Structure 1
Amino acid sequence: MSTDDKRIREFAYQIWESEGQPEGQESRHWEMACKLAEAEALAPKKPAKAAASKPAVSKTANGKAGNGKVAAPKAKTKPAAASAVIPPGEKAEKKPRAARKPPAV
């Protein structure tokens, strides 16, 4: 069995499983798998990135090259509106805004 036949068989099996393992659909699954395998073969191959080929240069927040140290990712915070869940059909109570300060002269 060639590699292409094995790949088609894998695709057909995945299609069969995804449809709930119906009986009597073998030829349709095989045709679908052939088309998937053909599309996969025609798709452009992406070259694997060589990690050692280029030295890693990190950029700081201002876009300039740094010293190679990578900063820890910032913690994500919830938006203020996400803190209170309002059931459907109920209106949210609006909080009064603070008075604006007069502009400095």
Structure 2
Amino acid sequence: MSTQDKRIREFAYQIWESEGKPEGQEARHWEMASKLAEAEALAPKKAPKATGSKTPASKPAAGAKTLNGKAAEPKAKTTKAKPAAAASVIAPGEKAAEKKPRAPRKPPAA
């Protein structure tokens, strides 16, 4: 079995599980999985993020600011906080917590 077939099998299984393990949907799940695997194979590969700088410290980049003949330290990147909606994502197969209905409003006193 090729790696592509293994990847399609993994995708098909994930689809089957996410739909609640229905019977008789194998062909549809396999077709969906093969399309996903093909798209994954055609997608450009992202290079892993490097932890250190790729440029040597002795040679500052063109246009880099120098201080006493040494390359200036790059500013630290600030990370943005995730939006509140990202915390409320529900995984497939899990049920959302049901909200309690609000009590009806009382009419204003006259």
- TM-score, scaled to structure 1: 0.52
TM-superposed deviation, 1:50:
1.8
Counterpart-to-counterpart distance in 2, 1:5 and 1:88: 55
Counterpart-to-counterpart distance in 1, 2:45 and 2:103: 48
Q: Which residue of 1 aligns with 2:13?
A: 13
Unaligned runs of 5+ in 2: 56-72, 80-101, 106-110
Q: Which residue of 2 aligns with 1:52?
A: 52
Unaligned runs of 5+ in 1: 60-69, 74-86, 91-105
- TM-score, scaled to structure 2: 0.50
Call closer, same or farther: CA 1:57–1:30 in 2, change over 3 Å. same
Identity of aligned residues (%): 70
Call closer, same or farther: CA 1:88–1:23 in 2, change over 3 Å. same
Q: Which residue of 2 aligns with 1:23?
A: 23
TM-superposed deviation, 1:2:
1.0
Counterpart-to-counterpart distance in 1, 2:103 and 2:2: 57
Q: Please, what is the CA RMSD of the aligned residues?
A: 2.9
Identify which of structures 1 and 2 has the higher relative contact order when contacts are C-alpha pairs closer than 8 Å and 6+ apart.
2
Which runs of structure 2 are paired with 1:66-77 in the superposition (5 Å)?
none
Counterpart-to-counterpart distance in 2, 1:35 and 1:14: 14
TM-superposed deviation, 1:88:
8.3
TM-superposed deviation, 1:58:
2.4
